[in-house]
Amino acid sequence: MKPAVFIPLCLLAGLAGGYTWGRQSAGRAMATTAVTAATTAGSSGAEVPTATPRPGPQVAASASAVAGQKGKAVQSLLAGFNRKKPVESNLKILQKILASSPEQLAQIVRDMSGPWRNDPGWAQAKQAALQRWVEIAPDAALAWARSARKDGAEPHDVAGVYGALAETNPLRAFAEARALQSPSLQQSALHSVIDAIAQTDPQQALQLSADLPNSLRHNVTWAIFNSWARLDPAGAAAGLDQLQDGNQRRNGVYSVMMQWAERDPEAALAWIKAVPEANLRRDAMTNLFSRLGQRDPQQAVAMAENLTGPLQRQVHTALLGGWVQSDPEAVDQWIRSRPDGGDKQELIKFALNFTEALTPERAAALAGTLKPGPNRDEALQNLFRHWGQNDPAQARAFMDTLPETEQKRLIPTVVESLAQNNPEEAIAYLKVHPIDDPTHHIWRNLAGIISDQSTPEKALAWARELPDEVTQRRVIPEIMGRLASQDPQTAAREALNLTSAAAREDSLARIGMQWGNDNFQEALGWARSLTGKDRENALGAVMNQGANQDPSTVATQFSSLLAELPSDQKPADSLINAASTIANSFFAESQEKATAWVASLTQEDARASATQALASRWVNYDAVSASEWIGSLPGGKSRDLAVSSLVGGIADTDPAMAFEWANTTQEETTRSSLLERSLQSWRQLDPEAARTTILNTDWPEETKTRWLEKLR
């Protein structure tokens, strides 16, 4: 199992928003290092070429010729640059780049534009060239930045111009970035500007960001307080009081926490304890201990000892997440040293989530110390899921050490995990360790896994050997459905050879559903070729699928099928259910056609099923018009079912009307149930009105008394 991540969603959002400025900030830092390195090398005696003077009007060569010469010079310069190595390996070339004229720098920036993430030297040189260009020719650099996307430059290159300008002229850089027309470029540039300003004057950066749109302001908050906290964590923490927006404040708190925790975790913890928002305080503290657990777990443990109750349990789990992966032996010793009670059991369970970091022996020993109960059950299930897929021998060996009652509970987990990699091994294990419950969900899951991991044919051969017919009924239809998705003809033949009547019935239904979804007309032809109950079951399943694709056509075919049945024969349940599905789908196509089709059904059960489904759909759509249609229906089973749908839909909002409709049903059990449903809501909304209505009915006094009692 993957380790839990203790970074709240809002923190992730802040990190995502800070990705661009983070790369730009790193780029500026590399550029500064590069400039410093080049300057240092130059002062120590290395050759530094002088900048090429701009040609004046007296130069006879044409502008294009000069440009061509400069272009060749730049190409020659960059051709000698080793992109993959750090800038120190290219120091002489970097010196020449930094000593170039503004025009040459412009050409260098253009030629170096494009992806650079995997080329450290190239990245440093490009950022240094940008920074130098902005320094000696800011107007030209800005002009390029405004149209740089036409040259194929990446947004971080463009943003780097504005960030470099912000180091010498922050207000102009901010104004220029705000003036950009492209929203994406504007966002990148403003990030870069605010970040650059925050490096030296976070208060000014915060003031400038106050005028930005909410989406931008939230993201740059992370950058501002990240830089501020590096300079002065206590001052940055005090500066958070200037933030009113909740999301902005949350990003600021996390920025300060991360920086302060690197410098002085105990001071950071003392500050976090004073954060007034409970949720923010809890999340920040969790993140603090998660980070500290990776870097200095012993200090994290010592700091956690001063906390109590649920908060201590929370931070223990947080620090454990990073610690268990770096030093599982120390984690094991620490957990075992904890006193019984408290959070010891929870810590053991949590540590076992990182089974891949623990040796099998250590994981088994830890699991053995868990007390019976939900923690132990969950931990063992997770352990066997991991071992079943990665170390089957260990899973089987550890299973043998458990009490028999516990083994029986865990067999499904072990079998399912084994089947993921080796279905045959799972089948063999089942023969030695059978599952007693034939209705357990593992059978259906296992059938699907074996079908997917081997073939449906092999899965079917296994299923036919199962001794229990109840289990076969759960397993075989699942396999048949998967086989039908690959080869419906073979699945259809295999289904007819099944000896279990129940498995045969369910399998035909699954095949009909799968085949009907893939090729309705072909599936319908197959279903019509069958006889008896097989035919009806398959037809019902195919019709159910077809109703979702072409309800009008399927409705006509369904009526024809019913007409073919003997008058005294009740349709199979699958056909009756299909009537419900068709009516439901037909309503979306045409209310008039749907009601006419339902009325045309002569078979009582099919008509009742279709009527109830249509009424239920209609009531949810428009209860008033639905009630008008229901009122026009002749008395009998179909109308009673339609009234049931209407009462269920309106009882909570209009119990008086629901009560009136319930009283119109003919079947006594249905009427009693609907009246009680109406009175349940009426008793809450207006019990006196309900009492008065009952007293004014023409019911016998005994009946009135019985219903009045229900209102008490």
| Residue 85: CB atoms within 10 Å | 13
Q: What pLDDT, on the 0 to 100 scale, is given for residue 1?
A: 36
Whether the CB-CB separation of 376 and 343 falls below 8 Å is answered with no
Q: What pLDDT, on the 0 to 100 scale, is given for residue 23?
A: 40
Whether the CB-CB separation of 450 and 470 falls below 8 Å is answered with no
pTM of the model: 0.52
Single out the residue of 255, 178, 209 nearest to residue 22, CA to CA.
Answer: 255
Task: Kindly report the three-state secondary structure assignment for every residue of 423-467.
Answer: HHHHHHHHHHCCCCCCCCHHHHHHHHHHHHHCCHHHHHHHHHCCC
Whether the CB-CB separation of 160 and 192 falls below 8 Å is answered with yes
Instruction: Give ∠ CA 67-71-73 in degrees, rounded to 5.
Output: 115
What confidence tens digit (pLDDT) does each residue in 434-465 have?
Answer: 888 888 888 888 888 888 888 888 888 888 88
| Residue 325: CB atoms within 10 Å | 16
Q: What pLDDT, on the 0 to 100 scale, is given for residue 16?
A: 33
Contacts 24+ apart (CB under 8 A), 45-53: 46/91, 46/92, 46/95, 47/92, 47/95, 48/95, 48/99, 49/95, 49/96, 49/99, 50/99, 51/99, 51/100, 51/101, 52/100, 52/101, 52/104, 53/101
The answer for residues whose C-beta is within 8 angstroms of residue 32's C-beta and 6 or more apart is 131
DSSP string, 404-428: HHHHHHHHHHHHHHHHHH-HHHHHH
What span, in angstroms and rounded, lies between the C-alpha atoms of 550 and 419?
Answer: 40
What span, in angstroms and rounded, lies between the C-alpha atoms of 443 and 435?
Answer: 9
Phi/psi class of residue 660: alpha, beta or left (left: φ > 0; alpha: ψ in -120 to 50)?
A: alpha
Whether the CB-CB separation of 293 and 322 falls below 8 Å is answered with yes
Phi/psi class of residue 622: alpha, beta or left (left: φ > 0; alpha: ψ in -120 to 50)?
A: beta
What span, in angstroms and rounded, lies between the C-alpha atoms of 600 and 638?
Answer: 13
What span, in angstroms and rounded, lies between the C-alpha atoms of 180 and 343?
Answer: 55
DSSP letter at 342 equals T
| Segments of the chain scoring below 50 in pLDDT | 1-27, 30, 42-67
Whether the CB-CB separation of 11 and 285 falls below 8 Å is answered with no
| Residue 253: CB atoms within 10 Å | 28
